[in-house]
Amino acid sequence: MYRDKTVMVVMPAYNASETLVRTYDEVMAQDCVDRVIVVDDASSDRTTEIAARLPHVTVHRHERNLGYGGNQKSCYRLALEAGADIVIMVHPDYQYTPQLIPAMASMIGNGLYHCVIGSRILGGYALKGGMPLWRYVSNRFLTLVENVLMGAKLSEYHTGYRAFSRPLLERLPLDENSDDFVFDNQMLAQILWAGCLIAEVSCPTRYFAEASSINFARSVRYGFGCLGTAGHLFLARRGLFPHARYPVALKNAAPDV
C-alpha cells in the first residue's frame, strides 16, 4: 500500500512465459505493491499456468484473443473490481523496469497527478536501451504531430508503462476505444480531453529477443491510428467531430487532485 491506498499492478500478457516470472519478481520486490493481476489474452504457451503458481497474483484468461486494447480493458476492470486505488500497468516482457513503481505510485498517492507514464525518451534512454533507429524516428515524428494537434507537451505517447488513479479510471469510457494497439493513444487522448495533467518519469528500457514487439506492417497501421486519434481529438475539441469516446460530460472534468 501507499498511504493507505491499495496499489495493484496489471500485466496484459500474451505468450509471456519466458519473462513473466522475472518481471513478477522485480514487481513484488517493490514494497508498495499489494497484488498483481495477470490477464492472459489466449496465449498459446504456459503463461496462465505459470502465473497461477505465483503468490499474490490474480489470473484471468481470455478464451479468445481480444487484442492488446481488449486485454487492457479487462485489466483495468478487474483492478477496479478488486478495490485498487492506484493501478500501474507493467508489461510482463521485462522491457520496462518495475523499480519505478514506488515513484509512480507516490506521485498519484500524494494527490499530485491522476496519470503518470514512464518515458523512454526523457534522459535519452531509448537508443541506449536498444530501440531500433526506425522505431525511434517514428516515435519522435508521431509525438511531435500529436503534441501539436492535442495541445500537450509529452516526450512520448507510445510507452506501455503507465499508472492511474482510481477516480480517473472510473471516469474514462474505455470501452469506446479500440481493442488494438492504438488503445494506448486513445486513452491518453481521453485523459487530455478530461483536462488532466499527465506526468512523466524517465524510464530506462530494454530491447532483447524475448521482449514483445509488433512487426513493421502493424507499426505502420499503429502510426496512422495515432495520427487519426490526434486529429479526432483536435476536431472534437472544436465541436466538429463528436464521438462517444469524448463525451461532453467528461470534457475538462478531471477528478480533483
Q: For residue range 229-244, list pLDDT tens digits in order.
A: 999 999 999 999 899 9
Bridge partners (DSSP) of residue 11 are: 38
pLDDT at 78: 98
**pLDDT over 60 at 212, yes or no:** no
Dig out the grid coordinates for 107 from the structure: 506521485
Which pLDDT belongs to residue 138?
Answer: 92
Residue with cell 490526434: 230
Instruction: Give me the domain span that covers residue 25.
Output: 7-250
Q: Report the amino acid identity of residue 105.
A: A
pLDDT of residue 66: 97
CA separation for the pair 210, 47 (Å, rounded): 14
- Residue keyed to cell 491499495: 6
Residue 227 domain-assigned (yes or no): yes
From the list 130, 147, 125, the residue with the least C-alpha distance to 201 is 125
Residue 79: how many CB atoms within 10 A of its CB?
Answer: 26
| 257 in any annotated domain | no
Residue 2 lies in a domain: no
CATH code for the domain of 68: 3.90.550.10
Domain contains 256 = no
Mean pLDDT, residues 72-87: 98
Residue 1 counted as domain residue: no
Is the residue at 255 inside a domain? no
* DSSP strands (E only) in the chain: 7-13, 35-40, 57-61, 86-89, 115-119, 162-165, 198-202
∠ Cα 199 72 180 (to 5°): 100
How many structural domains comprise the chain?
1
Strands ordered across the beta sheet of 162-165: 57-61, 35-40, 7-13, 86-89, 162-165, 115-119, 198-202
Q: What is the pLDDT of residues 195-206, one digit of tens each?
A: 999 999 999 877
Q: Which H or E element spans position 148?
A: helix 133-150
Q: Is residue 63 included in any domain, yes or no?
A: yes
Q: Whole-structure pTM over 0.75, yes or no? A: yes
Q: What are the φ and ψ backbone dihedral angles of 202, each rounded to 5 degrees? A: -70, 130
In a domain, 25, yes or no: yes
Per-residue pLDDT reduced to its tens digit, 107-160: 999 999 999 999 999 888 788 778 888 889 999 999 999 999 999 999 999 999
